[in-house]
Amino acid sequence: MSSGGPHLAAVGLSHRTAPVAQREKAALDADGMRALLRRLMRDPRVAEAAAVSTCNRTEVYVVAEAAEHARSAAGDALVACSRISAPELACAHYALYEEAAAGHLFRLTGGLDSMVLGESEVQGQVKAAASLAAEEGALGPMLDGLFRQAIAAGGRLRRETRISDGPMSVSSVAVDIARRAFPDLASRRVLLVGAGRMAESTGMALRRRGAGDLVVLNRTLSAARALASCLGARAAELGSLAEELPGADMVVCSTDAPHPIVTRAHVAAALSARADRPLVLIDLAVPRDVEPAVAGVPGAILYDIDDLDRNIKASLDGRRRELASAEAIVAEEVVRFRGWRNGLAVAPVVDALYSHAEELRRAELARAGRALDGAQRELLDAFSRSLVTKLLHDPASRLRGRGSLRHAEAIRELFGLESEPGGQVVELRAAS
């Protein structure tokens, strides 16, 4: 990590570091993300912040004047604004800094760090995270540039490799499980619990695979009706779940409810009169929508998000062969980020250097000009301006093009350039 600010840190936990029982505690809905961002931006040492929360991960990106403060602020905010405890987070989290944090976001947006290698839904989730941070005034120049590049890098990975060939999302893998459970899918009734993006993509995939009888249940009936209209399905309120379960063959849950909505009692009652017909439940939600105890009900077959991970690993050989090409692209994007980030950081130093030189030039011109007439002063003014420009042009160009934060801080120190309290972080906050 470089000595000069500002610094970038990413703190999070994912399916690679934590089971679903912990991930669901750290999950953030839109209100939770807003609360987290507002908490972070009240910290005078934090310049920028953004958060990404999906079914497989929750991550917080922070730009601050000190790398360790960025890390600790992100972790503290996540504990304060979610249900995960500090000891749980300490055991399950990862912390990445500077270019490692950028490379991780590029890999994430490209689907390289997803449960389903190459899946595409995460790109939209990253884009939504950046939009929400911008709405909260937390997306400054560094994170804005980082997230823009991440979205572009995700698109490049899918165009230039075959990393997304085949099933590309958790929902499509869930539908593959459904087809294995019910080869005669057209004659089965499926309940879609939830009406968000995951429910829509799952419903579309089910229709493409021949599902004939779909029912959309949602807490808000208007949302259920809107999705049902797109799918050619029937809509019902979530309150009718107990009435709908006995006639269902499969339930796919993907709400953002903070607690389970399908209980053991619901499932036991639904299956009590149909011992010869199983009920398959696929829980795509984090936090989980289906009580884990449902797995113990005779006739119930429950898959949660971690079960999907175990079901898909065997089908990823082809995509894994593309990983070397994909990682090479990520490495190129990290180099691009380094150059852009250095340019962002050194620009205020270059501006300060020119301002400093101009102040000295004007002072010397004023002193010498007292003994000169108007024409001589104009000639000296033009000469001194040209001299300063030519002296600084090459060093400034090199600093912008190949300079680092270390070089920028050296220039600031050597020339005694003044910075605002808090250094460049203050300048970046003002720029946002």
Give the model's pLDDT for residue 69: 94
Please tell me which residue in 55, 81, 91, 230 is annotated as part of the active site.
Answer: 55
**pLDDT of the residue at 391:** 87
Question: Which of 40, 47, 45 lies closest to 63 in space, CA to CA?
Answer: 47
Helix axis angle for 121-135 and 30-41, nearest 10°, is 50
266 lies in the same domain as 197: yes
pLDDT bracket for residue 354 (50, 70, 90):
confident
Active site residue 55: yes
For residue 273, give the DSSP letter: T
Task: Assess whether pLDDT exceeds 50 at residue 431.
Answer: no
Q: Are residues 244 and 160 in the same domain?
A: no
CB atoms within 10 A of CB 359: 10
Least confident stretch, 53-67, 85-99, 159-173, 296-310: 159-173
pTM above 0.85, yes or no: no
> What range defines the domain where residue 11 resides?
7-166+324-340
Residue 428: the pLDDT is 31
Side-chain-side CA neighbours of 411 within 13 Å: the count stands at 24
CA 290 to chain centre: 26
User: Is 133's pLDDT higher than 70?
Assistant: yes
DSSP β-ladder status, 7-14 and 94-97: antiparallel
Considering the domain architecture, whether residues 86 and 117 belong to the same structural domain is answered as: yes
CA dihedral 14, 121, 118, 56 (to 10 degrees): 10
Q: How far is CA 279 from CA 190, 208, 267, in A?
A: 10, 22, 8
**Residue bearing the bigger pLDDT, 426 or 394:** 394
- Work out the mean pLDDT of the chain and round it to a whole number: 86
Q: How many domains does the chain have?
A: 3
Report the distance separating Cα 65 and Cα 425, nearest Å: 6
The pLDDT value recorded for residue 239 is 94
Q: Evaluate whether residue 180 is within a structural domain.
A: yes
Residue 280 lies in a domain: yes
Confidence label for 432 from pLDDT (cuts 50, 70 and 90): very low
CATH of residue 145: 3.30.460.30
Cβ-contact 266, 241 below 8 angstroms:
yes
Question: What amino acid occupies position 233?
Answer: A
**Residue 253 falls inside a structural domain:** yes
Q: What is the pLDDT of residues 254-283, one digit of tens each?
A: 998 999 999 999 999 999 978 788 999 999
Note every long-range contact of 383-386, with CB atoms under 8 Å and residues 24 or more positions apart, other chains counting.
385/361
Per-residue pLDDT, 425: 32
Same domain, residue pair 79 and 196: no
